[in-house]
Amino acid sequence: MSQSAVGEHHVVIVGGGFGGLNAAKALGKAGCRVTLLDKRNFQLFQPLLYQVATGSLTTGDIAIPQRVVLRKYPKVQCLTSTAYDVDPVARKLVHEFGELRYDTLIVATGVKHHYFGHDEWREFAPGMKTVEHAIEIRRKIFGAFELAEVEQDPEVRKALMTFVVAGGGPTGVELAGALGELAHKTMVKDFRAIDPREARVLLVEGTAEILPAFAPKLRVAAKRHLEELGVTVLTGTRVEHVDAGQVRTRSDAGVQTIPTRTVLWAAGVTASMFGRILVEKAGGALDRTGRVQVEADCSLVGHPEIFVIGDLARLTDAAGVEVPGLAPAAIQQGQFVAKVLRHRLTGKAAPKPFRYFDMGTMAVIGMNKAVGDLKFMKVSGIIGWFMWAFVHIMALIDGAQRVRVFVLWSWKYFTRKIGDRLVTGAPTKTRELRAARPAAPSASV
Amino acid sequence: MSQSAVGEHHVVIVGGGFGGLNAAKALGKAGCRVTLLDKRNFQLFQPLLYQVATGSLTTGDIAIPQRVVLRKYPKVQCLTSTAYDVDPVARKLVHEFGELRYDTLIVATGVKHHYFGHDEWREFAPGMKTVEHAIEIRRKIFGAFELAEVEQDPEVRKALMTFVVAGGGPTGVELAGALGELAHKTMVKDFRAIDPREARVLLVEGTAEILPAFAPKLRVAAKRHLEELGVTVLTGTRVEHVDAGQVRTRSDAGVQTIPTRTVLWAAGVTASMFGRILVEKAGGALDRTGRVQVEADCSLVGHPEIFVIGDLARLTDAAGVEVPGLAPAAIQQGQFVAKVLRHRLTGKAAPKPFRYFDMGTMAVIGMNKAVGDLKFMKVSGIIGWFMWAFVHIMALIDGAQRVRVFVLWSWKYFTRKIGDRLVTGAPTKTRELRAARPAAPSASV
């Protein structure tokens, strides 16, 4: 009787990232009928996206189709489609290709990057949330070095070899570290007209410190590791303007204009639009960054049949901790709501409220330095790097990817070779990049 | 004295594929001053491009920057730029960012695909020469299955699940085989609304036989392997028309219209434009497909200081064999012209005229079937596959790539998992793909 209740109940999950995919796996295992909807046909391992952008990993290493992960659960269906609307009374989800009736709805549509009201910067300063972003950033970085090698004008060459990373959180720190390592170690012997070590990498952070979520001692270690890789850390410095040729910053020391062709955005995120639609139709509250306020069991206020999990959810857990927007929190919430639902459908008492298990935070800086703020210890340096590598490889979902990434990293570690530095993209885009050069006639090389 | 002649001589190489890159390596080793010019910053292992298109390999597995390969030769410089013109009297090459004086010029700009005068088909039937082509084909293939899973109209669904490959040479055969395997083996358990085994894969060839360069026995084996993977082989059938919704073919049996959303072009190649410019300026002759006729030592008629190698060269070798447009021939010619030049600069007698060493031809069909027309034997079936895998892995230039691909293929072989099936691309492109659907309102899923 109760097993049949489980099998008839239709769960619709919107968003197949860490949260949605883990909920789908747990519900699939329990024999539920699940429809998982995502705009993209793959789950992306976002914490490693900066490694695609800087040429160490290739796209297939960090992404896998949800339907491959969920293949073994015959009652779980994956649809590549975009959710547009929800009717909480009729319990219907409206998406690009039709409608879906649900008994339970799980919303896990995450966050996107955000330019603090300056959407016009988007064109010049790509963010780091999608595979396309990472490939665009890769094209910008390696394209800038290629152009510098043929450039005659020393001013233009200097601008081409100046890289500005906006945002001193883990993504910005990891990206700046990887760039510093590329310029100061990996590519040292690759050019003839330029010395890649002359590249300037600037990490710009508006607040007083990089890595605000880390312990003070680790922030100091992170800054030292970055500086060893030639990265200049500018804290207390806000970005005021970005265009194709420069960045303008403001700090207590005044306004500075930095000529550059490559600005990378790791500064802010905002909740995805579907959270706003959900709250409009079903009630509830959004916080300042658009996240949906949820109950202790991750359900929407007044709607026990609707859950919101992952980066999109705003929750202070049973221990009084504000659940952070990190992959482990999303994974734990996905598994948690599957358990809540299983208990409901089988008539068991509800599980205890959600409690985030914090395994700690790590950031990697260059090839073999990392800082880790772990539960029971603080690590930095090469031990930090090994722990970071281990944690990330183990968290990669698919076995084949795990083996690939492990082989690649080991190889990279011992040879300093590089994975995928291709400058790809539509020719028009390459032309745009070239168009940023002055129109003056080129001299003989 | 002669070593200094070697070091002062400036060799400019246009094109960094198999031919140009191998010439640069051999000349770098000999201590020559070399400038290698390529539009792209990487060499592409084109024979495996169809595996990126069908999701088994990812881009970084089959491409490597020329400057990484040539890193250890300090007198070799790589420039990412496009060659536009040549002045054979002043010995100057004009490129996008300036001019280069050369003592010796090596032209290895290859071929591109060709629509037999129907350039309007390009939009609907992508070829298979660049990384971008492979990613576009991947998006078309996996995007079609994703759309079929949400499609209600059985006619549209059938068109989405119909794949037409034009061209029965090795690329077309390998692509059709990989598609057949995807639909009939790899993806069988991945969908709920459709059965991927209902996909139709049509291989269309204008002449009477597929794989015309292979022995008759192997052609029969190849056709059998394809049919076992559900591929329909249509020989003696020419493509007459291609648009967003259909392909029209003509054979002795008459005209046939095939509704499809995915047409893949593996039918024809034509020489790159730079060959035409070279002959206009420096003299010499082009053949019907635009290839440059060269002398027995691969030099241009009347210009011993200009060599043309690889797919762009038309040469009947010392043994009377027409050198085919294959990677091993380009590699051998690159090494050969480096030797000719070394002999010249050190005052040695010229080497014997170029002679192509034919190691045989192979085509892989699906995961573990291949046909091989090797020098001393003909193989097919699983032994063919293992030989094909070995030959390809050994020919991959970079050590890291070799390890990656080996691990990936072994893993794939034992688990039938898949490497990189991401449907990526600008949102506008995804929208175009969707626009091919009829405008009728969608029903409930």
In a domain, B440, yes or no: no
**Cβ proximity of A173 and A203 under 8 Å:** yes
pLDDT-derived band at B426 (thresholds 50, 70, 90) equals very low
Question: If residue B5 lies in a helix (H) or strand (E), which one and from where to where?
Answer: helix B2-8
Cα distance from B12 to chain A (closest Cα, Å)? 12
pLDDT tens for residues A181-230?
Answer: 999 988 999 999 999 999 999 999 999 999 988 888 889 999 999 999 99
Element (H, E) at B51: helix B49-53
In this complex, do B400 and A419 lie within 8 Å of one another by their Cβ atoms? yes
Residue A2, both tokens:
């109760």
Residue A196: name the closest of A230, A171, A153 by CA: A230
Chain B residue closest in CA terms to A92: B444
* Active-site pick, B136, B151, B174, B205: B174
Boundary-marking domain end, from B313, B345, B377: B345
| Closest by Cβ to B59, choosing from A79, A96, A420 | A420
β-pair partners for A253 = none
CB atoms inside a 10 Å sphere around CB B281: 13
Q: Which of B408, B319, B397 lies closest to B358 in space, CA to CA?
A: B319
Q: What gap in Å lies between CA B258 and CA B437, rounded to an integer?
A: 16
Q: Give the A:B interface size as CB pairs under 8 Å.
A: 189
If contacts are CB pairs under 8 Å, which of residues 193-222 in chain A contact chain B?
Answer: 193
Residue A66 domain-assigned (yes or no): no
- How many helices and strands in chain A, by DSSP H and E? 13, 25
Amino acid at A163: F
Res. B399: pLDDT tops 90: no
Q: How many Å lie between the alpha carbon of A428 and the closest alpha carbon of chain B?
A: 13
* Pair (B140, B280) in one structural domain: no
* Neighbour tally for A98: CB within 10 Å: 17
Distance of residue B358 Cα from the nearest chain A Cα, in angstroms: 31
Rounded to the nearest angstrom, the minimum Cα separation between A413 and chain B is 11
- Chain B: nearest CA to A376, how far in angstroms? 36
Q: Which pairs with CB-CB distance under 8 Å and at least 24 residues apart come from B403-410?
A: B403/A407, B403/A411, B404/A404, B404/A407, B404/A408, B404/B60, B404/B61, B405/B57, B405/B61, B405/B62, B407/A403, B407/A404, B407/A407, B408/A400, B408/A404, B408/B56, B408/B57, B408/B61
Q: Which two tokens stand for residue A88?
A: 């909480």
Q: Which of A82, A95, A421, A430 to mutate to test the interface with B (most CBs of B within 10 A)?
A: A421
> What amino acid occupies position A75?
K
- Asked if A198 is an active-site residue, the reply is no
Q: Does residue A243 belong to any structural domain of this protein?
A: yes
Taking contacts as CB-CB distances below 8 angstroms, the residues of chain B near A77 are: 149, 192-193
Residues of chain A in contact with residue B32, where contact means CB-CB under 8 angstroms, are none
d(CA B442, CA A127): 34
Average pLDDT over residues B383-404: 65
Q: Kindly tell me the burial class for residue B123, based on how many C-beta atoms sit within 10 Å of its own C-beta (0-12, 13-18, 19 or more).
A: exposed
**Among candidates A132, A415, A442 on the partner chain, residue whose Cβ is nearest the Cβ of B98:** A442
Interface pTM (ipTM) of the complex? 0.85
Dihedral over alpha carbons A395, A399, A402, A403 (to 10 degrees): 160
B410 inside 8 A of chain A by CB = no
Residues A307 and A301: beta-carbon distance below 8 Å? no
What is the torsional sign of CA B132, A174, A335, A299? Answer: negative
Closest chain A residue to B440 measured between Cα atoms? Answer: A97
Dihedral sign from CA coordinates of B320, B322, B324, B329:
positive
Say yes or no for a CB contact (<8 Å) between A71 and B190: yes
Alpha carbons within 13 A on the beta-carbon side of B226: 28
Out of A280, A312, A345, pick the residue that ends a domain: A345
- How far apart CA B329 and CA A256 sit, in angstroms, is 56
Q: Give the dihedral of Cα atoms B278, B280, B286, B288; nearest 10 deg.
A: 120
Whole-Å CA distances, B96 to A444, B38, B85, B206: 11, 11, 10, 39
Q: Write out the H or E segment, with its range, that includes residue B340.
A: helix B327-345
Per-residue pLDDT at B436: 45
The count of domains in chain A is 2
Claim to verify: residue A262 and residue A280 sit in the same structural domain: no
Residue A372's CATH number: 3.50.50.100
Instruction: Please give the pLDDT value at position B21.
Output: 95
Which pLDDT does position B160 carry in this prediction? 97
Average pLDDT over residues A330-350: 95
pLDDT at A413: 57
What is the C-alpha separation between B56 and B49, in angstroms, rounded? Answer: 10
Does residue B224 share a domain with residue B126?
yes
Chain B touched by A136 (CB under 8 Å):
no
Please, what is the end-to-end C-alpha distance for chain B in angstroms? 80
Q: Is A378 inside a domain boundary?
A: yes
- Sequence letter at residue B35: T
Question: Which range, of A403-412, B29-38, B345-354, averages the lowest pLDDT?
Answer: A403-412
Looking at A345, A375, A400, which one is the last position of a domain? Answer: A345
d(CA A166, CA A113) in angstroms, rounded, equals: 12
Residue type, B231: V
Are B328 and B409 in a shared domain? no
Nearest CB to B58 within list A60, A65, A426:
A60
Are B276 and B290 in contact, with CB atoms under 8 Å apart? yes
- Identify all chain B residues contacting A423, using CB atoms and an 8 Å cutoff: 40-42, 80
CB proximity B61 to A under 8 Å? yes
Task: Please enumerate in sequence order all residues whose Cβ is within 8 A of that of A216, keeping only pairs 6 or more positions apart, or say none.
Answer: none
Report chain B residues whose CB lies below 8 A from the CB of A135: 424
Question: Tokens for A293?
Answer: 């306020």
Distant-in-sequence, close-in-space partners of B64: CB < 8 Å, separation ≥ 6? B42, B43, B397, B398, B401
> In this predicted model, what pLDDT tens digit does every residue of A32-48 receive, in sequence order?
999 999 999 999 888 88
- pLDDT tens per residue across span A85-99: 999 999 999 999 999
Structure tokens at B148: 């079929």
Minimum Cα–Cα distance from B59: chain A residue? A58
Backbone angles phi, psi at B112, to 5 degrees: -130, 170
Determine contact, residues A109/A21, Cβ cutoff 8 Å: no
Q: Does A156 touch chain B (CB under 8 A)?
A: no
For residue A29, how many other CB atoms are within 10 A of its CB? 13
Sign of CA dihedral B36, B41, B42, B43: negative
Do A240 and A257 sit in the same domain of this protein?
Answer: yes
Residue B57 lies in a domain: no
| The two three-digit tokens of residue A158, written as one number | 């200097």
Count of all residues that appear for chain A in the document: 445
Q: Say if the Cβ atoms of A423 and B80 lie within 8 Å.
A: yes
Does A427 have pLDDT greater than 50? Answer: no
Which amino acid type is present at position A217? K
Nearest by Cα to B438 from B140, B151, B246, B195: B151
B302 burial type by CB count under 10 A (0-12 exposed, 13-18 middle, 19+ buried): exposed
Contact A418 B77 (CB under 8 A): no
pLDDT over 90 (residue A368): no
Output the average pLDDT for chain B. 87
DSSP three-state, residue A185: helix
Q: What is the CATH number of the domain that holds A18?
A: 3.50.50.60
Query: Same domain for A133 and A278?
Result: no
C-beta of residue B317 within 8 angstroms of C-beta of residue B355: yes
The DSSP secondary-structure symbol of B119 reads G
pLDDT of A441 higher than 70: no
Residue B56 has pLDDT above 90, yes or no: no
pLDDT at A123 over 70: yes
Distance to chain A for B162, nearest Cα, Å: 19
Task: List pLDDT tens digits, range B246-274.
Answer: 999 999 999 999 999 999 999 888 899 99
**pLDDT (0 to 100) of residue B366:** 75
Mutate to test the interface with A, among B38, B49, B58, B139 (most CBs of A within 10 A): B58
Same domain flag for A317 and A247: no
pLDDT at B180: 95
B112: contact with A, CB 8 A cutoff: no
Q: What is each CA distance from B350 to B143, B341, B346, B354, in whole angstroms?
A: 55, 9, 10, 11
Q: Is B346 on the interface with A (CB under 8 A)?
A: no
In whole angstroms, give the CA distance from residue A338 to residue A357: 17
User: Chain B 424-443, CB below 8 Å of chain A: which residues?
Assistant: 424-426, 434, 442-443
Same domain, A183 and A255: yes
pLDDT of residue B212: 85
Residue position matching structure tokens 């303007």? A241
Residue B44, in any domain of the structure: no
Distances (CA, A) of A22 to A34, A107, B146: 12, 13, 21
Structural domain boundaries enclosing A338: 2-39+81-113+270-345
**Together in a domain, B90 and B169:** no
Which position has the token pair 């329990």?
A30
Smallest Cα distance from B218 to chain A, Å: 33
Residues A153, A194 contacting (CB under 8 angstroms) = no
Tens digit of each residue's pLDDT (9 = 90 or more) over A3-28: 567 778 999 999 999 999 999 999 99
Q: Do A445 and B79 touch (CB under 8 A)?
A: yes
Cβ atoms of residues A174 and A363 within 8 Å: yes
pLDDT at A231 over 70: yes
- Answer yes or no: is pLDDT of B434 > 50: no
Q: Is the pLDDT of residue A138 over 70?
A: yes
Residue B179 to residues A260, A320, B51, B141: CA-CA distances in angstroms? Answer: 45, 53, 10, 8
Query: Do B263 and B274 reside in the same domain of the chain?
Result: no
In a domain, residue B64? The reply is no
- Are A249 and A377 in the same domain? yes
Which residues of chain A are within 8 Å of residue B144 when distances are taken between CB atoms? none
Please judge whether A421 and B79 are an interchain contact, meaning their C-beta atoms are less than 8 angstroms apart.
Answer: no
Rounded distance between C-alpha atoms, residue A258 and residue B294, angstroms: 52
pLDDT at A117 over 90: no
Provide the chain A residues 279-298 that lie in CB contact (below 8 A) with chain B: none
Structural domain contains residue A25: yes
- Under a CB-based contact definition with an 8 Å cutoff, are residues A90 and A103 in contact? no
| Lookup: tokens for A95 | 């998406």
Same domain assignment for residues B183 and B331: no
Of A8, A136, A155, A174, catalytic: A174
Q: CB–CB of A418 and B191 under 8 A?
A: no
* pLDDT higher than threshold 90 for residue A61: no
Would you say B421 and B142 are in contact if contact means Cβ atoms under 8 Å apart?
yes
